[in-house]
Homo-oligomer: A and B are copies of this chain.
Amino acid sequence: MTLSSPFASALEEVLRPDQISVAEEDLQTFAIDQGPVTDYQEPLAVVWAETIAEVQSVVRLAAEYTVPLVTRGAGTGVSGGAHATVGSVVLNLTRMNKILEINAADEIARVEPGVINGDLNAVAAEHGLMFAPDPASYKISTIGGNIATNAGGLRCAKYGVTRDAVLALDVVLADGTLIRTGHRTFKGVAGYDLTSLFVGSEGTLGVVVGATVRLKYLPTIVRTLAVFFPSVQAAAAGVLALGTARVQPCILELLDGPSLTELDFRNGSNLSTRGTALLLIQFDGLAAEQEEALAATALEALGGTISREDPAEAQRLVDLRRNNRGLDVDAQNRVGEDVAVPRSQLVHYITALEEMARRHGVDLQVIAHAGDGNLHPTFSVPTFEPAGIAALNAALDESIDKALELGGTITGEHGIGQYKLRWLALEQSAEVLAIQRHIKALFDPQGILNPGKAIPA
């Protein structure tokens, strides 16, 4: 887009100058999210909509001029879902950041899409409530992005993923029409479940411009256990033991040895001297203390060393874990995976990962939302040499095959985006992929909404 293109002139009629940028700095900033980049493209422009009407106008113009739109929240996605594509305009929603309503009696909130997850939680907390989905990025990611990716998080072992928290959506369709799906009530079964269809659709079916979400009680009692194990396999076995003990942690994170070493290196902690693997466990609610005791008994029997953390230290550990993606953005030589396996397969899968990493000569760190069987193995090589990158990719491919072989999925919570498209056909049949393409065509016949993402073209 040059400023003199007809599309640009049309945009300038519906937005103020400070809502449109073609400055090189902006084009670079908003060209990519935090996922691996395989096909770097700068957008033609970045636009900041501030109202639903403005989103409608932008979408209508994109439809009229057949310009691809990449909707963007905070850009913290790690699958390249918000990467710009050829000839696209980035539709940035971060200025639509108003919390429209908190209704404590009904335990719901209505928000604009650009509201930061942590900001909603801060306001909800004043009412003793919380928005349960808590991706580790909760301090920076938007509710719109959480919805578009069906984000998980640490406490979804107990409280469910984003889809479980979304009651109704306001969505601008590919022709600019505004619709409302779902209901303000906790339950409702009128018509097909369009809300769930938009949740996790990564900006390819419509632009989420508003959401009614369900809030849960903010627990007042929280107990945290750090349990160190002599091996990552023993820690993974601990996850099953907690199941057998019938306790339901709100957080159940597994960190392997290399992850502990890296955390120590970054934070000056001494975790790696205390064991080879760590289960970080949090219980909340009125039974937290009883559950903690049951868990401790079960895990000690497996050889775990229990360290009951005082609240401050516990919070620090959870924060360390949350920030563990840290500064390293994914790159060609460092890819954080996001597979999930049935929980009984955690031990086998981690063993297989370690063997793969050794064989391919790549580095491996494993952290997992273990309560859900959702693993984030990170493979890396200390080089950009083709041979190293090839080894990394071979390990990645094999890790995906193995997860599928064990009954797993190629993405537990991060989404397919752009980066994981190459593996989708390994998980889903040609018939299922065809249905998805038909759904995409139904909602977006011109293919202007985030093309080349979420499902294969």
Contacts and interface: CB of A to CB of B under 8 A. Distances in A.
Interface of A: 103, 105-108, 128, 149-150, 152, 156, 160-161, 163-164, 173, 177, 179-181, 183-194, 196-197, 199-201, 205, 217, 220, 240, 243, 246, 248, 285-287, 290-291, 340-344, 369, 372-374, 407-416, 420, 424, 427-429, 431-433, 435-436, 438-439, 442-443, 454-455
Contacts of A344: 103, 105-106
B152 A187 contact: yes
Given A186-B340, A243-B105, A193 B192 contact: no
A416 B191 contact: yes
A52 to B, nearest CB: 14
Contacts of A152: 187
A432 B180 contact: yes
Contacts of A185: 340-342, 372-374, 407-409, 412
A242 B289 CA distance: 22
Nearest to A424: B190
A338 to B, nearest CB: 9
Shortest 6 CB-CB contacts between residues of A and residues of B:
A196-B196, A286-B287, A287-B287, A105-B344, A188-B409, A185-B340
A179 B342 contact: no
A79 B240 CA distance: 42
A192 B187 contact: no
A163 to B, nearest CB: 7
Given A173-B431, A220-B246, 13 more contacts: A103-B344, A106-B344, A161-B187, A179-B431, A187-B372, A188-B409, A189-B414, A190-B411, A191-B433, A192-B436, A194-B435, A197-B197, A438-B442
Contact of A193 (B184, B196, B373, B420): B196
A410 B185 CA distance: 11
A307 to B, nearest CB: 23
A187 B103 contact: no
A439 B194 CA distance: 10
Contacts of A106: 342-344
Q: Kindly name the residue among A108, A185, A197, A287 whose own CB sees the greatest number of chain B CB atoms within 10 A.
A: A185
Contacts of A291: 286
